[in-house]
Amino acid sequence: MKTTINPLTRRPAWKALTAHYKAVKALHLRDLFAADPKRGERFTAEEAGLFLDYSKNRITGETVKLLLQLAKESGLRERINAMFRGDRINITENRAVLHVALRAPKDACITVDGKNVVPEVHAVLEKMAGFCRRVRGGKWKGHTGKPIRNVVNIGIGGSDLGPVMAYEALRHYSDRALTFRFVSNVDGIDFVEATRDLDPAETLFIVSSKTFTTLETMTNAESARKWLLQGLGGDARAVARHFVAVSTSTERVAAFGIDTANMFGFWDWVGGRYSMDSAIGLSTLLAIGPERFRALLGGFHRMDEHFRTAPFERNLPVLMALLAIWYNDFFGAQTVAVLPYEQYLKRFPAYLQQLTMESNGKRVTLDGAVVNYDTSPIYWGEPGTNGQHSFYQLIHQGTRLIPCDFIAFGRALTPLGRHHDILMANVFAQAEALAFGKTAAEVKAEGVPDWLVPHQVFEGNRPSNTILAPQLTPETLGALIALYEHSVFTQGAIWNIGPFDQWGVQLGKVLAQRIVPELESRTPPPLKHDSSTNNLIRRYRAMR
Ligand code: G6Q
């Protein structure tokens, strides 16, 4: 497929930004704030309960104007329309990309190949809700007649990271009578530790796999079946009462032995890392209940509509994406730190790692040409304040520029004494210190001896966004995730790369399958790898 977009570095706005960068890079946030007393109110935007303060970025009004121009020249509006229209924008897999349909209201109409997919989406949601009511109400019984008390999601990558993150994020709202566990790694320890204190008679496994072929998930599902049957006396009929599946493949689910009446489907137009709001979110729905799951979808949808319709200058995902590009491609920043000041969001950075890097970790454009600019930065992070006592040192005083996204909430879900004010004081203080730093004169004025002064200087001018919301609710979480999803989409559109395939993941799936028989073979197998791999395999075989 040929695109009609000018190569990125030839777009007029890109050239203008290259020149503009030279003028702006030396400006200090101290001066930018001093010159404009309203800056902290001006560079802000708000939607779906999320307030974005992007004033502590190394930008001027002109920077924003040029970045918006770049979005326009990159055909962003047309790309957005193409996605929402159901065009096959995932060109290497010839698929539509319609996670936005997963959270569309019942009366919406989104078509793939002429067929409205919204009724199917809602039919699956209804089925999930009905299942949830039976499990939570004790009507769904295990093989021995006991109700379900434990739910174990087995899945990996997109079939794990979203569900884990959402469960942790919304734990406050979860049914505490149920225990939730997540098994993803093929390292057997993951399964062993997740199930060691569970009673099989009260345990339900959700095997979550879009393809139902993924080695890790299938291996864990087999072990789960053995564990269950061992615990329940070996009657194979028990499987139907203790296993449900989430997949796009009815045949493979049936072949595994799961009753397809207990299968929750989704579609090839839902990418793995964009699937936590499909049936892949069954564990989330079981944890928080159908009404709150709908509120989560409502939050996603509000942000979808904002992204689709709002002018770019107040469009949160577009602004966040443009700022990410500004640092990545002009300042040469290699990473972005995501720092939630909310313990419930402890898995949010891990979730974002996949969303961002699996989507935009690409080196060729949609036309197959090798890019001559950097694509996805590395996303990483930890919840505050813990990170402050570890890697923040480098963000404050190291040699690298690390733009930060701070995420914080006005109210704690379970207030505890002064904790929340102290937490929030920290987030505000960190963003302030990063931006403004501490000069040598200020350090000296504190009576610090001359030799020690350089060590205590903070040069500042280290950029950050602050995202502030009243409280972590299902709806806010949905909006927050959609904000990042669409920011990733926008970045991909500007880089003219395809954010919706993952050939790198595919490679790993194939390579390991080839080596497994060489490790398991009783007799020494002929090895045809490089000398290092051959040697490692031989050593491993000797250690087994
Ligand atoms: C996500 C990726 C990848 C995928 C896993 C699990 O976008 O494609 O992380 O989700 O490899 O795949 P299955 O759901 O098919 O088991």
359 in ligand 1 pocket by Cβ < 6 Å? no
Region 210-216 average pLDDT: 95
SS3 string, 101-136, reads HHHCCCCCCCEECCEECHHHHHHHHHHHHHHHHHHH
Atom of ligand 1 nearest to the CA of 358: 7
Region 227-236 average pLDDT: 97
Tens digits of per-residue pLDDT, 356-402? 999 999 999 999 999 999 999 999 999 999 999 999 999 999 999 99
Flag whether pLDDT at 341 surpasses 60.
Answer: yes
Substitution candidate for ligand 1 out of 186, 246, 505 with most atoms within 8 A of CB: 505
Q: Active-site residues: which are they?
A: 358, 389, 509
* Per-residue confidence (pLDDT) for residue 509, from 0 to 100: 80
Flag whether pLDDT at 5 surpasses 90.
Answer: no
5: left (phi over 0), alpha (psi -120 to 50) or beta: beta
DSSP conformation letters of 232-255: TTT-TTHHHHHEEEEES-HHHHHH
Flag whether pLDDT at 1 surpasses 80.
Answer: no
Closest CA to 408 of 394, 423, 418, 430: 423
Count of alpha carbons within 13 angstroms of residue 226, beta-carbon side: 8
* Per-residue confidence (pLDDT) for residue 3, from 0 to 100: 55
Distance 482 CA to ligand 1 centre (A): 19
247 in ligand 1 pocket by Cβ < 6 Å? no
Could you give the CA distance from residue 332 to residue 373 in angstroms, rounded to a whole number? 10
- 57 CB burial (10 A radius; 0-12, 13-18, 19+): buried
Residue nearest to atom 16 of ligand 1 (CA): 209
Region 295-304 average pLDDT: 98
Q: Which residues partner with 247 through β-bridges?
A: 265
Q: List the structure tokens of 516.
A: 């497994």
Distance 466 CA to ligand 1 centre (A): 31
Distance 292 CA to ligand 1 centre (A): 26
Q: List the structure tokens of 504.
A: 């790198």
* Segments in 282-337 forming alpha helices (H): 282-288, 290-309, 316-325
358 in ligand 1 pocket by Cβ < 6 Å? yes
Distance 488 CA to ligand 1 centre (A): 18
Q: What angle do CA 240, 246, 247 make, to 5 degrees?
A: 115
502 in ligand 1 pocket by Cβ < 6 Å? yes
* Segments in 368-473 forming alpha helices (H): 392-397, 419-436, 440-445, 453-456
Q: Which amino acid, 172?
A: H
Distance 185 CA to ligand 1 centre (A): 13
Distance 485 CA to ligand 1 centre (A): 16
Residue nearest to atom 1 of ligand 1 (CA): 272
Residue nearest to atom 2 of ligand 1 (CA): 272
Residue nearest to atom 8 of ligand 1 (CA): 272
The mean pLDDT of the chain is 97
> Rounded to whole angstroms, what are the CA distances from 492 to 8, 158, 219, 225, 485?
11, 19, 34, 41, 11
Distance 446 CA to ligand 1 centre (A): 55
Could you give the CA distance from residue 226 to residue 154 in angstroms, rounded to a whole number? 14
Region 266-289 average pLDDT: 98
Q: Which amino acid, 484?
A: Y
211 in ligand 1 pocket by Cβ < 6 Å? yes
Could you give the CA distance from residue 322 to residue 320 in angstroms, rounded to a whole number? 6
Could you give the CA distance from residue 488 to residue 113 in angstroms, rounded to a whole number? 26
Where do we find the tokens 């969001």?
345
Cβ atoms of 479 and 303 within 8 Å: the answer is yes
290 in ligand 1 pocket by Cβ < 6 Å? no
Count of alpha carbons within 13 angstroms of residue 18, beta-carbon side: 9
158 in ligand 1 pocket by Cβ < 6 Å? yes
248 in ligand 1 pocket by Cβ < 6 Å? no
Closest CA to 473 of 169, 24, 233, 157: 169
Could you give the CA distance from residue 405 to residue 320 in angstroms, rounded to a whole number? 9
C-beta atoms surrounding 289 within 10 Å: 19
Flag whether pLDDT at 108 surpasses 90.
Answer: yes
Flag whether pLDDT at 103 surpasses 70.
Answer: yes
Cβ atoms of 81 and 493 within 8 Å: the answer is no
Cβ atoms of 341 and 423 within 8 Å: the answer is yes
Atom of ligand 1 nearest to the CA of 214: 16
Q: Which amino acid, 339?
A: L
Q: Which residues partner with 409 through β-bridges?
A: 469
Region 260-265 average pLDDT: 96
Could you give the CA distance from residue 346 to residue 340 in angstroms, rounded to a whole number? 7
278 in ligand 1 pocket by Cβ < 6 Å? no
44 in ligand 1 pocket by Cβ < 6 Å? no
* % of the chain residues with pLDDT over 90: 97
* Per-residue confidence (pLDDT) for residue 285, from 0 to 100: 98
Flag whether pLDDT at 511 surpasses 90.
Answer: no
501 in ligand 1 pocket by Cβ < 6 Å? no
pLDDT band at 512; cut points 50, 70, 90: confident
Cβ atoms of 35 and 68 within 8 Å: the answer is no
Cβ atoms of 121 and 264 within 8 Å: the answer is no
Tens digits of per-residue pLDDT, 415-461? 999 999 999 999 999 999 999 999 999 999 999 999 999 999 999 99
With the C-alpha atoms ordered 305, 306, 307, 308, is the resulting torsion angle positive or negative? positive
> Rounded to whole angstroms, what are the CA distances from 23 to 19, 36, 328?
7, 18, 17
Q: How many residues does the chain have?
A: 544
Where do we find the tokens 């903070």?
458
Distance 228 CA to ligand 1 centre (A): 25
Residue nearest to atom 9 of ligand 1 (CA): 157
Buried b or exposed e, range 463-481, using 16+ CB within 10 angstroms: bbbbbbbeebbbbbbbbbb
Flag whether pLDDT at 169 surpasses 80.
Answer: yes
